[in-house]
Structures are given as C-alpha cells and as structure tokens.
Amino acid sequence: MKVTVADGEKSQKILSVEIPADTYKGVFDAELAKVSKNIKIQGFREGKAPKEMVLKEKGHAVRVQALELVVNDSVKTAIEENDIRAMGQPEVKDVKFEDDDTPITFNVHVDVFPTFEITKYKGFEFTKEMNEVAEEDLDAVLQNLRERQAAFEPVEGDDAVIAMGDQAVMDFEGSMNGEVIPNATAKDFALEIGSGQFVPGFEEQCVGIKKGEKKDIVVTFPENYQEPSMAGQPVTFAITINEIKRKAIPELDDEFAKDVDEKYETLAQLKEDIKKDLELEAEEMAKDAVYNSMLDKFMEENPFDIPTVMVREQAMRLVEQQLRQYAMYGIDPAQMGIDKNALAEQNFPVAEKQVKSALIINEIGEIEKINPTEEDTEKSLDEYAERYGKTKDELKKELDQYGGMQSFQNTVFTNMVYDLLLKENKVEDKIITKAERDAKVAEAAKEAGKEA
C-alpha cells in the first residue's frame, strides 16, 4: 500500500492511498469463499455450487463488500502508520476502482488534533475595569430580598379592585365557539397579575375588576401554541374574582435581617455581607473580562486553526446546556420546535473561541510546567467553600456526588495559569463609577436602537 500525506484546510490531513490489486483479490476470494459455503442454488447441495454460478448470483454484492473491507482496513492502517492524531470520523473521497487487475485509489480527509506553538503571551498591557459598588447597587439587592420575603395579604373591603402586581384568586372557565374547554377551567386559582403566567392579554384585562365581580375576558392564543386546535384562536374566559391579595413588603430593619438569615442580628450586618458579595462579584467579573482580553490577544498574536469536529462538538455541548436551562424553567424544547443542528451552527463562533481558549491555556500550562498539587486543590476548596458559605467537606461531597471533582481540578489549573498571566503581563486597574457605567449602558442602548 502506498500512502502520501498532504496538509488540508483547518487542521486537516489528506491521505492519498493506493492499494495493490493483489490485496483486493485476496479479500475478494476470502469473502467469496464465505458466501460459497452457505449459498443455496437450485440443482446443487448447499455450499457445492460452482464458482461461476456463485459469481453470477452474488458476484456484485461480494465485490462491494470486499471493496468496503479493503478501504476501511487501509484507512485505519494508513492513519496508524503515519502517526496521524485523528479526530472524529475520517471521510473517504474520490474512490477509483476500474477492475480486479488495477490498483484501488482514494483520498482520506482526516481532522487532526491541532499542532501549534504559543510563544507570545508575556509582556502585553491590559486594563482591568472593575465596577464600583454604589449605594444604589446595595439598595437593589435589599429591595430584591424584600420582594422575596414579601407575602400576599387580603385586601379588605368589597370595593377593592385589582391592580398590577396584586394576586387575584379567581374561578375561570374557558370556552371556544361556545364549547367549554376541559383543561381551561379552575377554581380558586391564584394568579399574580403582571407575572406573565397566563396567556398574553389576560392579566392586563384583569386590572380594575372588583372583588366578587364576574367578567368575560377574550384573548387570542399564540400561533405557536402547543395545542393546535387553540393556536391563533380567540378564547373567552368567564371569570369570577373571589379574593384580591396585595403584596406586603417587609420593613427594612433588624427583624427583616433576622428573617433573611438567622446568622444576622442587625440590618448593618446584612448590608455588610451584601456589600462584600457585590465587591467579590465585581472583582470576578473584572478578572473574567481581562482574561478574555488576554485570550483574544494571544489568539491574534499566535494564530492557528482547529478542526471543525472540535468546534461542532463544543457547539453541541452549548446547545445541550441551553436545553437544560429551558427544562429548568419548565420549557419543553420539543414544543418550541428547536432545531439542534441549526442552533449549533449559530453557536459556532462562540464554540470556536472557547475551544481555542482551552487549548491556549493548556499549552501555556505545559510550557510553564503548571501542575496543581494536592495542596493547591485543598487550598482552592477552602476558598470556594468560604465563598459559598459551606464547609470544605460539604463542598467535596457535592463535587463527588455529581462527578465534579475533575472539573474542579481543571478550574484550579486554569486559575493557576491566569495567576501567572497576571504576573507576566502589565495589568492596570481602573474603577468604573456608577455614573460611567450608566453612561455606557445608555450609549449601548442608543447604538442598539440605531441598528434596529
């Protein structure tokens, strides 16, 4: 067998293979012998038919089978003998097979693990922009906590009317073309008005209805509604408001802090913890941003290609993550008509950057001989446990339970590479004030409006 290897596009090798006619003949004869043993031809005992008759009956099928066996075996041998680090399934093209007395030739396109060098990753200048934690940020978190601690309390009086944000306790019965819809009826159903829980247009029409009042509400169901018979159709809901409840938001005081967590005695302690968390979050976001800037720079300074199969696999992993997130929110992807392959195609640019980033980090780790010790892992476990309010044993148990220890060790390795990069490059810290942040958001919204 003769094999020549050439470079293809995007980390691909092209193997041109020539198989001697004798090799094919040997495989063909062996396959024909197998068929001859079991073939039944009228007038002959099983396995005793002449070769010519077997060829006439099964010759084409045997030739196809022999050709497939020879090509597949040759592809495997060619890859192994030429030390090709193949990724994914090799693609056979341009097969030429004229007759039993001429060589078989074909090309094999193989995605290979990329070979590259990262030499430029030190001495660059970057800016780490960290958002200032403003009083408004602290207030926003406290307000969110108050909303979560809030309880709905009945609105007294027969003249009470529903307002946006209220909880309406109602009976309803849905009908279409005068026929009651079995699955569109309920008694004492509690609906928070403005939550978007119901069909678009329903909640808005509830605003202003009095306690005890009966009313017909007409809404048109979305065109993509999961029940085809109701999709795009007007449905009438006969509703009766049994009770109106209004959200009672707790006062911001020491008692509120105790309700949030028993470890707090005062509101000041709660505020101090929130501020620390916000500062830690701002620091992590700033680090992530500067790390991304570094990786973008290293990709620019050390260009290399990666095989499409690596990008496709990562793109599909991103799709699976998206689908799991949908499931967490009770959304059935099947009912949304999601095309996984189309979604993966959309993810290709992000996936390519993620794969290249991981390869660069691993390569720098190899160059710098970064190899986390057990002590490094234990230290990181301590840090993460403290950050998330757990004991180290609790964190270890969670990681072991969900098979996450290997992933955590990879995180330790990545963080050690990042720590080295922060030392080997000049990083200027810059605090972004709340006013500057708001100005950036406003400018981004303005630009988005122009594009729209």
Which two three-digit tokens encode residue 309? 């199969």
Within 13 Å and on the Cβ side, how many CA atoms surround 406?
Answer: 2
What is the model's pLDDT at position 130?
94
Contact 146, 250 (CB under 8 A): yes
In whole angstroms, give the CA distance from residue 286 to residue 430: 10
Cα 298 versus chain centre, distance: 25
CB neighbourhood size of 290 (10 A): 22
**Strand pairing of 125-131 and 426-432?**
parallel
Q: Give the per-residue pLDDT at 53.
A: 67
Q: Tell me the HSE value of 2 on the side-chain side, using a 13 A CA sphere.
A: 7
Each domain of the chain, given as residue ranges in start order, spans 2-112, 125-135+256-304+368-451, 151-248
Q: Report how far residue 407's alpha carbon sits from residue 413's, in angstroms, rounded to the nearest whole number.
A: 10
pLDDT digits (tens, 9 = 90+) for 100-125: 788 899 999 988 888 889 999 999 99
Return the CATH number of the domain spanning residue range 2-112. 3.30.70.1050
**Separation CA 349–CA 310 (nearest Å):** 12
Strands 86-96 and 426-432: unpaired
The amino acid sitting at 449 is G
Is the pTM higher than 0.75?
A: no
Q: Which residues contact 175 (CB under 8 A, 6 or more apart)?
A: 181, 184, 235, 236, 237, 238
pLDDT digits (tens, 9 = 90+) for 229-273: 888 899 999 999 999 999 999 999 999 999 999 999 999 999 999
Contact call for residues 389 and 273 (beta carbons, < 8 A) = no
Question: How, if at all, do strands 125-131 and 234-248 pair?
Answer: unpaired
CATH number among 3.10.50.40, 3.40.50.10320, 3.20.20.80, 3.30.360.10, domain 151-248: 3.10.50.40
Q: Distance between CA atoms of 280 and 286, rounded to whole angstroms?
A: 10
Q: Cα separations (Å) of 335 from 202, 222, 330, 362, 368?
A: 22, 13, 11, 40, 49
CA 329 to each of CA 78, 199, 258: distance values in angstroms, whole numbers, following the listed order: 50, 17, 30
Distance in angstroms (rounded) separating the CA atoms of residues 264 and 272: 10
Q: Where are the alpha helices (DSSP H) in 193-304?
A: 202-206, 254-260, 267-301
| DSSP codes, 324-353 | HHHHHTT--GGGGT--HHHHHHHTHHHHHH
**417: phi then psi, degrees, rounded to nearest 5:** -65, -45
Per-residue pLDDT of the chain in tens (452 residues, 90 and over written 9): 888 888 887 778 899 999 988 888 888 888 877 777 767 776 666 666 666 766 776 777 878 888 888 888 898 988 888 888 787 788 899 988 887 788 899 999 988 888 889 999 999 999 999 999 999 999 999 999 998 898 999 998 888 999 999 999 999 999 999 899 988 899 999 999 998 888 899 999 999 999 999 999 999 988 888 788 888 899 999 999 999 999 999 999 999 999 999 999 999 999 999 999 999 999 999 999 999 999 999 999 999 988 888 899 899 999 998 888 877 777 776 666 678 888 899 999 999 999 999 999 999 999 999 999 999 999 999 998 888 888 888 888 888 877 788 888 899 999 999 999 999 999 999 999 999 998 988 888 888 777 65
Quote the radius of gyration of the chain (alpha carbons, Å). Answer: 34
Q: Give dist(CA 299, CA 273) in Å, integer.
A: 39
